Amino acid sequence: MRAPTVIRTWQRRFADAVEPTTEGLPNRRTLMVPLIALLVVFIALVAAGITGSSSGILNQSVNSAADPNLLAGEPRNIRSDEWSVQTSWVISQVEQGLPVVNENFPGGMDSTVQNDLPSADWSMAFRPHLLGFSVLPLDNAMAVRWWLPAFAMLAAVYLFAITLLPRRPVTSVLLSVGFFFAPFFQWWYLPITFWPVAWAFLLMAAVVWLLRTRRLLPRIVLPLLVGYTAVPVGMGVYVPFIIPATLVALAFCIGFVVTRSSSSISGVGGRLRSLWPIFVAGAGAAGVLGLWVATRWSTIQGFTSTVYPGERLQSTGVAGPKELLSLFSGPFTRWLGEAEGVPFGMNASEASTFILAGVFLALPILWLIIGQVRRKLPLDWASASMLILLVLIAAFMFVPGWDAIAHLLLLDRSPVSRIRLAVGMIAMVLTVLLIVRLDERRRAGERRLPLWVPVSTTGLAAATTAAIAWYVLRYDNILTAGTLWIGIVLLSVAAVWWFVRGPVAVGAAAFALVSLLVGGNANPVYVGVYDLNGTTLVKTMKEIDAARPGAWVGAGNSGLLGVTLVQSGLTSFNGVQSFPPTEMWRMIDPTRASENAWNRLGNVSWGVGEGPPSPFNPTDDQIRLTFDSCNSFAQEHVSYVLSEFLIEQPCVQLMRTVHQGPSTFYIFEVVPGSD
């Protein structure tokens, strides 16, 4: 009999430890202990310089030995937005001393708007993930950049969950961890992915606190955090993620304010007045962003006036059965990298999604809302608003013919693969809200939900999963990977049952484990980033350029040429441009005859050919040009050429041959000649 007594004793101690405040909010211990633990993990990762960067993929091209900085996993080529674009530009900034105007492209580019780069600009005070570059070595600063936005989201989701579930810190931790490891976040892992979500959950949590507490500290700190976090969201300028996160936050906040039982403050007007610190913080954030935009308006104009992406709008109803199956394919996505996204998308990132247990929980939530209506009880508008938004998002994806309305609601700013972010966030909010309602029923002494509700909910999840399994099994690919695959699928369905029927903590644990298994292998465990400035090749290039500075062109077939030139910090005509640098393109195309080809976001690369550069687009985001060393462009503006093969043109002279690991590179000087 001693074991049950010990268990009951520990249960009482735990209940006492997590007892909420008199306002129904989490006590200091349950609020702070997990956040402090997260901070300790963050400090340890930064101190060790650990990231999830795939930049180590460069090692195979410039080093014959294994990469000692790769601790686990494997670099992902599809993560090129991270390792090829953003990481390369960050290293370029470090090499140039964190300038406001990066001089890689001739004429320079504003580094404070594009690619989330560190600089010596005042706006860095509102980009905390970039502050480390001013005081830390590159590897440690990159670790800050890698983890801070993601951990901010983790903290915000935990804060939201524990605010509504003050007696459930374990469940709240598991839900936030599971959400973080969602394949969508791991395959789209960038600061611009995490900041909008962190801000949205922080805003939702702050609204709950402001409606329930009169204490001064949270009424000051939380609005300040909301306002401060809104600034890096705006400076990230990636609308396809900002809009979905904002819609979810607004829907919840409106629903929560309208719900009579959400606060002891009477009347919607009274509850809105209680939120005045949020409105003040929002005005402050708008002021900072307005100043930021005004002081770099020409850059913003250039960014928004491109041919591609320009104002890229998504039509309604473009998704079909394949996209529907892909949306719910989370339990099947552990092997997305190996399968290159097949059969759910064109690549692993486009195919990635969430573990959407919370979407199925719409059924019991709807049952509870109908019960409130029948019994003439105050309606749970927070849950209702989430259901309405879920239907709206689904209609945008699958129902055509209402583009004008979708445009007014800003839905068309997010392609189908990106607006999944809203579905994943709604699923998380619905999960928390269902647990809240079930706990309220339990404390009120009401019976559990009728058995048919969890059975139907789990049955719907099982049927959906079975349909996706049938779809996957039609393909002979690595996604059908035996026992582990089956275990993940079954556990994801079981999580739905446990969320509805209990125990809820077990459901949260299952949810977290499934997310970890399917999303945790997307990125490697890596020490810092792969910096090509330590190679013999870049050292040789810098030695040559120091003797006689000039502009470079990487002409050849390897994408490594552009990455090398950008990371070196030397002036070159290669690299990914967010919009066309005016002076560079004036040199290349002075008559603007090919403006449609180069006025776009794209990777500028060169092949060897004859005549003028003649830009063209192999794909929408690629700008390919031909390099003729005797052409007037090369004669007037180019000093050196980097290539992976010998160039047979009369106006170049071989300066150096560099053997770098398994690769050989040739450095040429442009010499006078006739066009």
Give the per-residue pLDDT at 16. Answer: 79
Three-class SS of residue 661? coil
Give the per-residue pLDDT at 94. Answer: 97
Strand partners, 72: 525
Please report how many Cα atoms fall inside a 13 Å half-sphere around the Cα of residue 231, on the Cβ side.
24
Q: Which residues of 610-622 are buried (b: 16+ CB within 10 A; e: fewer)?
A: eebbbbebeeeee
Q: Which of 237-251, 293-307, 381-395, 548-562 has the lowest mean pLDDT?
A: 293-307
Contact of 73 with 523, CB cutoff 8 Å: yes
478 and 546 in a single domain? The answer is: no
Res. 298: pLDDT tops 90:
no
498 and 582 in a single domain? The answer is: no
401 and 538 in a single domain? The answer is: no
Closest by CA position to 542, among listed 570, 519, 566, 500: 570
403 and 513 in a single domain? The answer is: yes
Q: Has residue 222 been placed in a domain?
A: yes
Q: Has residue 417 been placed in a domain?
A: yes
User: How do beta strands 109-110 and 101-102 pair?
Assistant: antiparallel
Contact of 544 with 656, CB cutoff 8 Å: yes
497 and 571 in a single domain? The answer is: no
Give the per-residue pLDDT at 361. Answer: 97
Q: Is omega for the bond preceding 615 within 30 degrees of 0, making it cis?
A: no
256 and 231 in a single domain? The answer is: yes
Give the per-residue pLDDT at 554. Answer: 97
Distance between CA 213 and CA 25 in Å, rounded?
8
537 and 514 in a single domain? The answer is: no
Residue owning tokens 């930064």: 46
Please report how many Cα atoms fall inside a 13 Å half-sphere around the Cα of residue 330, on the Cβ side.
36
Q: Has residue 461 been placed in a domain?
A: yes
Measure the N-to-C terminal CA separation of the chain; round to a whole number of Å. 97
Q: How many CB atoms lie within 10 A of CB 448?
A: 13
**Of how many residues is the chain composed?**
675
Res. 14: pLDDT tops 90:
no
DSSP assignment letter at 361:
T
Task: Indicate the helix (H) or strand (E) that contains 360.
Answer: helix 357-360
546 and 471 in a single domain? The answer is: no
- Of 523, 557, 585, the position where a domain reaches its end is 523
DSSP assignment letter at 618:
S
Q: Is the dihedral of CA 328, 331, 337, 342 positive or negative?
A: negative
Give the per-residue pLDDT at 1. Answer: 47
Let me know the angle formed at the C-alpha of 408 by 402 and 409, rounded to the nearest 5 degrees.
Answer: 90
Q: Which of 28-37, 195-204, 294-303, 476-485 has the lowest mean pLDDT?
A: 476-485
Distance between CA 556 and CA 623 in Å, rounded?
14
User: Residue 313, exposed/middle/buried by CB under 10 A (0-12, 13-18, 19+)?
Assistant: middle
Strands (DSSP E) contained in 249-336 are: none
Query: Over the stretch 609-620, which tens digit does the pLDDT of each residue have?
Result: 999 999 999 998
Query: Over the stretch 334-372, which tens digit does the pLDDT of each residue have?
Result: 888 877 888 888 899 999 999 999 999 999 999 999 999
Joined tokens for residue 616? 């063209």
Residue owning tokens 């961890």: 177
Query: Over the stretch 530-546, which tens digit does the pLDDT of each residue have?
Result: 999 999 999 999 999 99
363 and 495 in a single domain? The answer is: yes
Q: Has residue 572 been placed in a domain?
A: yes
Q: How many CB atoms lie within 10 A of CB 63?
A: 17
DSSP assignment letter at 137:
-
* Confidence grade of residue 2 (pLDDT, cut at 50, 70, 90): low
Task: Indicate the helix (H) or strand (E) that contains 659.
Answer: strand 652-660
Mean pLDDT of the chain: 93
- Helix-, strand-, coil-residue percentages of the chain, each rounded to 5: 60, 10, 30
Distance between CA 178 and CA 464 in Å, rounded?
21
Query: Over the stretch 102-139, which tens digit does the pLDDT of each residue have?
Result: 999 998 999 998 789 999 999 999 999 999 999 999 99
515 and 549 in a single domain? The answer is: no
* Confidence grade of residue 232 (pLDDT, cut at 50, 70, 90): very high
Residue 470 makes CB contacts below 8 A (sequence gap 6+) with none
Joined tokens for residue 191? 């600061």
Q: Has residue 579 been placed in a domain?
A: yes
In whole angstroms, how large is the CA radius of gyration of the chain?
A: 27
Distance between CA 368 and CA 150 in Å, rounded?
34
Residue type, 97: G
CA–chain centroid gap for 293, Å, is 23
- Of 523, 551, 571, the position where a domain reaches its end is 523
* Confidence grade of residue 376 (pLDDT, cut at 50, 70, 90): confident
**Biggest CA pair distance of the chain:** 99
**In this predicted model, which residue has the larger pLDDT, 3 or 445?**
445
Joined tokens for residue 68? 């000692």
* Confidence grade of residue 152 (pLDDT, cut at 50, 70, 90): very high
Residue owning tokens 């005016």: 582
Give the per-residue pLDDT at 479. Answer: 52
Three-class SS of residue 653? strand
* Confidence grade of residue 674 (pLDDT, cut at 50, 70, 90): low
Query: Over the stretch 168-211, which tens digit does the pLDDT of each residue have?
Result: 999 999 999 999 999 999 999 999 999 999 999 999 999 999 99
DSSP assignment letter at 581:
-
Residue 47 makes CB contacts below 8 A (sequence gap 6+) with 140
Q: Has residue 108 been placed in a domain?
A: no
Q: Is the dihedral of CA 204, 210, 213, 215 positive or negative?
A: positive
- Of 505, 523, 541, the position where a domain reaches its end is 523
Strand partners, 555: 606
Using N-to-C axis directions, what is the helix angle for 191-212 and 416-443, rounded to 10°? 30
Sheet holding 622-627, edge to edge: 575-577, 602-608, 622-627
**In this predicted model, which residue has the larger pLDDT, 472 or 92?**
92
Q: Has residue 465 been placed in a domain?
A: yes
Q: Has residue 90 been placed in a domain?
A: no
CA–chain centroid gap for 260, Å, is 35
Residue owning tokens 């020490």: 527
Contact of 209 with 25, CB cutoff 8 Å: yes
Closest by CA position to 644, among listed 565, 545, 547: 565
Residue owning tokens 């779809």: 471
Joined tokens for residue 396? 């945008």
Contact of 343 with 475, CB cutoff 8 Å: yes
Give the per-residue pLDDT at 12. Answer: 83
Number of domains present in the structure of the chain:
2
Three-class SS of residue 72? strand
Give the per-residue pLDDT at 608. Answer: 96
Note every long-range contact of 185-188, with CB atoms under 8 Å and residues 24 or more positions apart, other chains counting.
185/150, 185/153, 185/519, 186/352, 186/519, 186/520, 186/522, 186/523, 187/78, 187/79, 187/336, 187/348, 187/349, 187/352, 187/519, 187/522, 188/349, 188/352
Residue 454 makes CB contacts below 8 A (sequence gap 6+) with 364, 497, 500, 501
262 and 307 in a single domain? The answer is: yes
173 and 310 in a single domain? The answer is: yes
Q: Look up the domain containing 619 and give its range.
A: 532-670
* Confidence grade of residue 3 (pLDDT, cut at 50, 70, 90): low
DSSP assignment letter at 447:
P
Give the per-residue pLDDT at 659. Answer: 96
